[in-house]
Chain A
Amino acid sequence: DQQVKQNSPSLSVQEGRISILNCDYTNSMFDYFLWYKKYPAEGPTFLISISSIKDKNEDGRFTVFLNKSAKHLSLHIVPSQPGDSAVYFCAASRLSGNTPLVFGKGTRLSVIA
């Protein structure tokens, strides 16, 4: 059973607009959430994380929102740039202890100039 779900396989956004990528999780023990970005032929790159004690974390153009009651998180990219075109993975884990990350299947973002 998938514990981390990214229900949109792909998303297209115009340059300069907001990109919103969504992620749902089922395991209520998860308290640490991360977003990774992946370009073709490269490894995933860490973007931003959030722990369950917060509901928002911001880093430049990237903001992650966490809704614990809905078991939902989202990544907002504002403004979107062509270089943001990549596959984005959501991941979840426990903040402490020896608990590996569980990844979603990814969402391919295309930012159109």
Chain B
Amino acid sequence: DAGITQSPRHKVTETGTPVTLRCHQTENHRYMYWYRQDPGHGLRLIHYSYGVKDTDKGEVSDGYSVSRSKTEDFLLTLESATSSQTSVYFCAISEAKGTSNQPQHFGDGTRLSIL
């Protein structure tokens, strides 16, 4: 198993509260990603990082921010959670071999419920 730890694994919170999800890796991989998985939508990219302090938006970035101050940690923040952000969130990591991308490896997910 790739060394990826997501925390918390489960969280229930109220609309309007801030929420931060953490992804921690022990593989020293350059790339880190946050996805959300919803019924009927598969996996959709929220934000990704290609190095410390280097991040970019994905397909569904509105309402989310990220930070990566260390190689091993990638944080996803919902500044003011809404019910539409109830989802399962997955972190993934990957590396490049020369100029070729390598497969992403995923954590076990965080189930977030916003009431």
Given the complex, which residues of A lie within 8 Å of B92, measured CB to CB?
43
Interface range, B side: 20 to 34
Contact indicator B103/A49 (Cβ below 8 Å): yes
Interface class of chain B by DSSP: strand
CB < 8 Å neighbour of B99 from A36, A42, A96: A96
The distance from the CB of B74 to the nearest CB of chain A, in whole angstroms, is 14
CB within 8 Å for A96 and B44 given contacts A42-B109, A43-B90, A44-B106: no
The one of A101, A102, A103, A105 that contacts B40, using a Cβ cutoff of 8 Å: A105
Report the separation of the CA atoms of residues A63 and B30 in the bound assembly, to the nearest whole angstrom: 29
Most buried by A among B31, B33, B43, B45: B43
| Interface locus among A13-21, A70-78, A87-95 | A87-95
CB neighbors of A among B45-71 (8 A): 45, 48, 50, 56, 58
Interface residues of B (CB under 8 A from A): 4, 31, 33, 35, 40-45, 48, 50, 56, 58, 90, 92, 96, 99-101, 103-109
